[in-house]
Amino acid sequence: MRHWTIPRQLWQQSLEEVGAFGREGREGICLWLARQDSGSNLAFVRSAVLRGPLIRRGPLSIQIDSMLIDRFTDVVDREGLLLAGQIHGHPERFTDLSDVDRAMGFRVPKFLSVVAPYYGTHANTAFRDCGFHEFVAGSDYRRLPEHELALRVTLSETPVAAPLSV
Ligand SMILES: [Zn+2]
């Protein structure tokens, strides 16, 4: 089973990004990148944020234009990185994936999709407060039960650069 490492600094950057839009009552999103040569155990090394009019953040959905996704993919590829996870905010305590998330989400094997409660506005949000969902190849997203979350997702003190902005 895959194991993920999330630097504390990257987690904090993510909550800042998601919470900034959450305070306006909208879903924010932060993308997580790993090195392209990562093995089955995956360490996120950089976060990325999307800017401009090609991303629209609503109270219950986020729409990203395919042109922005293409541009993002080019930038990430040039950096030798790979999109392998994301975190976005939901209102209140709802940390499951919505039907829209399941339908529109990144359907990449082993992709990690995290949902933060209260739109990510609580800076002290911990892993256990969130919903962690892995994409299972040929299937669908599956939420990690609490005992699995503790075993498979680890916080690290590895420093990370400022978020990549696309
Ligand atoms: Zn969602």
Separation of CA 60 and ligand 1 centre (Å): 7
pLDDT digits (tens, 9 = 90+) for 98-123: 988 988 777 777 799 999 999 999 99
pLDDT exceeds cutoff 90 at 48:
yes
Separation of CA 55 and ligand 1 centre (Å): 15
Residue 50 is predicted with a pLDDT of: 98
Residue 124 is predicted with a pLDDT of: 96
Residue 147 is predicted with a pLDDT of: 95
Separation of CA 77 and ligand 1 centre (Å): 25
Name the pTM for this structure: 0.96
pLDDT digits (tens, 9 = 90+) for 122-135: 999 999 999 999 99
What would the two tokens of residue 17 be? 């990004």
Residue 19 Cα distances to 49, 63, 112, 139, angstroms: 13, 17, 19, 31
Using a CB cutoff of 5 Å, list residues around ligand 1, an ion.
Answer: 98, 101
Pairing state between β 29-35 and 81-89 = antiparallel
Residue 100 is predicted with a pLDDT of: 86
